[in-house]
Structure 1
């Protein structure tokens, strides 16, 4: 029963990741999801085979340490992926000229029928970003840290050109990674019945105590 449950959880995690915004980040996340699944399976075998509660406790502690290390390694991989994605997007921006609607500039002059929206709304978007944010990499010099994340919602609802504008570089970088890892696409902005590119601003704040 437990093995079936673990397998079901793994399948659900793969299904969840396949809906992700960005292909490069999806590949990286899928790889580490699989590594977690394999580690969980191996540690569970050792835990179930051990009769001593003292040894079981040691196995649980070792498992926790492995997972913390894996989180750190995964974040390093995400940083490399972020650099790759930004470089690709910069090249695309240089070689193509694409227009977009900015929801914060001259709204009275725009004829948008619908603004870009995230499934579940703005609060769901912020909660998911907070959940995906890897806070262990940030060494805050103040309790409250803030940034504004600017990105483009493309015509197909995917996002691109994610850029965080805040005082702390590491906090900004982790916010950008979290945006690219969002599990759902946006509903694109619509103008006269046609999907248009749309610049979105998302203010983020995190309290480190």
Structure 2
């Protein structure tokens, strides 16, 4: 498998906008994590029963093949979740527009009491993004693929409204999914002691070595 190294560079800016929950992604991940757990147990039983090294190697190869297929199936489920979320965001945006709901003006940088922070810092966030990134779906004709991710940290610390803007459509979608799969919530930003919605811009590049 081609080795892929993910580099993240962070730029921050503020604004308010509507958002969505990412429960769909958690549900998909939890379901397939359980399937992996069950498959691992079954293949371990088969492996332990075999006596010859050749048969044990066959079991190991079968296990790897099953896991690769499961990864692909999970990715299809995550893509469906992404589509559902984006459709809901679009519908909410139309509803807000039809009701003439005004967005809260963006705060000034000087008004911030504290920025939104990811538990463990952005280096841990980078590591978790790399671990969740399904690079097997990407066929790259270039050595470096780039995109710019924009997402909102909600008042409760969850993320929403994730959008990637880059030349490679598949890379964009996988980057969005990886961001939604972050296991921890942010600490929200505050203005004068009140939690506010906070937008991040995250330029992202992947090297294909």
Q: TM-score higher than 0.5 here?
A: yes
Q: Secondary structure at the residue paired with 1:42? A: helix
Deviation at 1:95, TM superposition (A): 2.5
Q: Is the 8 A contact 1:149 1:162 kept in 2?
A: yes
Matches within 5 A, 1:169-180: 169-180=169-180
Distance 1:138 1:38, change over 3 A: same
Aligned to 2:16: none
1:35-87 CA-partner distances (Å, limit 9, x unpaired) = 10111111111111111211111000010011011101110110001001111
1:149-196 CA-partner distances (Å, limit 9, x unpaired) = 101111000111000111111000000000110000011110010000
Distance 1:92 1:188, change over 3 A: same
Q: Secondary structure at the residue paired with 2:187? A: coil
Distance 1:129 1:25, change over 3 A: same
Aligned to 1:91: 91
Deviation at 1:100, TM superposition (A): 6.3
Aligned to 1:75: 75
CA separation in 2, counterparts of 1:188 and 1:167? 31
Aligned to 1:167: 167
Q: Which runs of 4+ in 1 moved over 2 A?
A: 92-102
Q: Which one has more relative contact order, counting CA pairs under 8 Å at least 6 apart?
A: 2
CA separation in 2, counterparts of 1:42 and 1:125? 33
Matched, 1:191 2:196: no
CA separation in 2, counterparts of 1:203 and 1:26? 24
What TM-score do the two structures reach when normalised by structure 1? Answer: 0.83
What TM-score do the two structures reach when normalised by structure 2? Answer: 0.83
Q: Secondary structure at the residue paired with 2:172? A: helix
Which sections of structure 2, spanning at least 5 residues, go unmatched?
1-20
Structure with the higher helix share, 1 or 2: 1
